[in-house]
Amino acid sequence: MERGILAVFREAQVTKVPIADGGEGTTEALVTATGGRIVYQQVMGPLGDVVEARWGILGDGKTAVIEVAAASGLTLLSKEKRNPLLATTYGIGQLIKAALDQGIRKLIIGIGGSATNDGGAGMARALGAKFLDRSNNELPNGGAALKNLAKIDVSQLDFRLAETTILLACDVDNPLCGPRGASTVYGPQKGATPAMVAELDQALKHYAELAKSITGKDVAETPGAGAAGGLGAGLLIFTPSELRPGIQIILETAGFEEKVKHADLVITGEGRTDMQTAHGKAPVGVATLAQKYNVPTLCLSGGLGPGHEDVLQQGISGLMSIVPQPMTLEECMVDVDDLVAAATGRLCRLVQVGMQMK
């Protein structure tokens, strides 16, 4: 984008702010914005194998950022191996524990892009909770096993959690169960058949009811509880967490408001702009804050889908796709840097024309 801007406005001062909304890229965005560092950690992957996950320590040295996708992500599995009946969030718990071991007491967790549907039970298990059946045997990993849950033992839950602040960066408002729940809405993309969706939904419902009776926390209908296969619910139940729109957390941490006060124009973007963008996605979050200071926002996207016009009512003044001609997704991915630079140049030339109009 900077390259495209300077090709048209050679004297422009460009301030770059990395943005994410809680999904993939959140760690990199916040570490870059704050001058922090990346940490690598070997943890359990979604199906029990060992994966090297990365998390970040921000520039203040006191805050960690963790992406669910790094340890339990859908992209860690081929389509053939995806199985939400068995997939676990245990690796996320290991990353939280690693941050606590480093003396960190404030965590930002981006909950998106998971391969899991276990309600965060794996995460809690890694932090000391026990999930037992009627014979007092520990349940195996995965969402399907929760249908046999009879007891949750939190007596050995990591005591350091009580003195920790956890912000959950979330860009969805789905409840845990039901027609808009984790299993129904996101289960199919994780490999769930209709029968598996029904099984997982019932298992999560049973899990939530038992957790409520033991902990007193009723989170099943909380917006965002269904995020990351119910990990949102698990974090709310077992840790002192607060769910917030991911883009708000990222903008605050990156100090975006102070920067936008002095701007003449904001250019933002995303992979695809459509009707979902208007419901709290990153570009709208950027535009809403810019609008507070009467700074116009333009959005560049990989593609414009159905309902993209909705964002024009959310503070975004104009839209453009980076694709100049019919191209495959693979071609776009290979040439994305040049496509973004060229599209930004085209956008700036239109801005230039507007500046010249009477």
pLDDT at 120: 97
26-247: CATH number: 3.90.1510.10
User: Distance between CA atoms of 117 and 198, rounded to whole angstroms?
Assistant: 12
Contact (Cβ atoms closer than 8 angstroms) between residue 41 and residue 53: yes
What's the pLDDT tens digit per position in 6-44?
A: 999 999 999 999 888 777 888 998 999 899 999 999 999
pLDDT at 21: 79
User: Distance between CA atoms of 97 and 93, rounded to whole angstroms?
Assistant: 6
pLDDT at 65: 96
pLDDT at 171: 79
Give 319's strand partners. Answer: 299
Looking at residue 262, its amino acid is H
Give, as one character, the DSSP assignment of residue 319. E
Cα diameter, the chain: 80
Per-chain mean pLDDT for the chain: 94
The strand pair at 241-245 and 266-273 is best described as unpaired
Lowest mean pLDDT among 19-28, 78-87, 117-126, 255-264: 19-28
pLDDT at 39: 96
pLDDT at 113 over 90: no
What's the pLDDT tens digit per position in 74-109?
A: 999 999 999 999 999 999 999 999 999 999 999 999
pLDDT at 322: 94
pLDDT at 317 over 80: yes
- Stretch 203-217: mean pLDDT, rounded? 94
User: Distance between CA atoms of 98 and 264, rounded to whole angstroms?
Assistant: 42
The closest alpha carbon to 67, from 23, 101, 117, belongs to 23
- Stretch 191-215: mean pLDDT, rounded? 95
The strand pair at 130-132 and 106-110 is best described as unpaired
Q: What percent of the chain has pLDDT over 70?
A: 100
| Cα–Cα distance list, 79 to 14, 53, 82, 83, 115 (Å) | 41, 20, 5, 9, 10
pLDDT at 277: 83
Q: What percent of the chain has pLDDT over 90?
A: 81
What's the pLDDT tens digit per position in 146-198?
A: 999 999 999 999 999 999 999 999 878 899 999 999 999 999 999 999 999 99
Q: Which residue has the higher pLDDT, 214 or 22?
A: 214
Element (H, E) at 67: strand 63-67
pLDDT at 279 over 80: no
Q: In Å, how far from its chain's centre is CA 128? A: 25
Write down the domain spans for the chain.
2-16+256-356, 26-247
- Print the SS3 string covering 61-126: CCEEEEEHHHHHEHHHCCHHHCCCCCCCCHHHHHHHHHHHHCCCCEEEEECCCECCCCCCHHHHHH
Q: Which CATH architecture has domain 2-16+256-356?
A: 3-Layer(aba) Sandwich (3.40)
The number of CA neighbours under 13 Å toward the Cβ of 293 is 17
